[in-house]
Amino acid sequence: IRSVRQGAGRVKIPDILAVPEMVSILGKLESKLIRTAVSAAGMTALRSSEIRGLKWSDIDFEQLWMNLCRGRVRKYETRMKGENSRKGIPLPPELSIILQEWRAESLLAKEEDWVFASERLKGSAPVSFDTVLKKHIQPAAKKAEITKKVGWHTFRRSFASILAAKGEQVKVVQE
């Protein structure tokens, strides 16, 4: 029983990326879709399921607002994790530009389409973020000589840490 982890305490402090490290990873990503998804993760602190669940109709570019209506985990559509998630979030102007550029290039840009639609699946589902992480993001981090463990949640934690360092009020939400 001693080898069984008990309690909810962390075993290891999670890695946080500095802004230059995030920029370096972005610079090593070849796919515009993946760069856009990573930008969304790094600029909003959304969960990967929330980013995967975005449809173009959820984004109000004029009001700079993202309505969070659904999550997407593997092939399943999910409800938002918490009440705060369902309220939506402001869309950073810089991310608005990045998303609009992606939409202009995307073959799947109708209101009902997934923002990160899989072309291979003809838009019937978003791309697999697990695959994107393993085949693109982690190799890009390695090329950028970042030795920290990088996952989708790393961008969420890094965003909160950057805000806290700037003196912003950060509400810690239990996962």
Task: Round the average pLDDT of the chain to a whole number and report it.
Answer: 86
Residue with tokens 């978003």, as numbered in its chain: 126
pLDDT at position 4 is: 63
Can you list the alpha helix ranges (DSSP code H) found in the chain?
19-28, 32-44, 48-52, 83-86, 93-105, 129-132, 138-143, 152-165
| Regions of the chain short of the pLDDT cut 50 | 169-175
What is the predicted pLDDT for the residue at 125? Answer: 94
Q: Provide the pLDDT for residue 45.
A: 86
What pLDDT score was predicted for residue 175?
A: 36
| pLDDT computed for residue 6 by the predictor | 59
From CA 151, how far away is CA 171, in angstroms rounded? 21
* Per-residue pLDDT at 158: 85
175 burial class (0-12, 13-18, 19+ CB within 10 angstroms)? exposed
Q: What tokens appear for 115 in the block? A: 């923002």
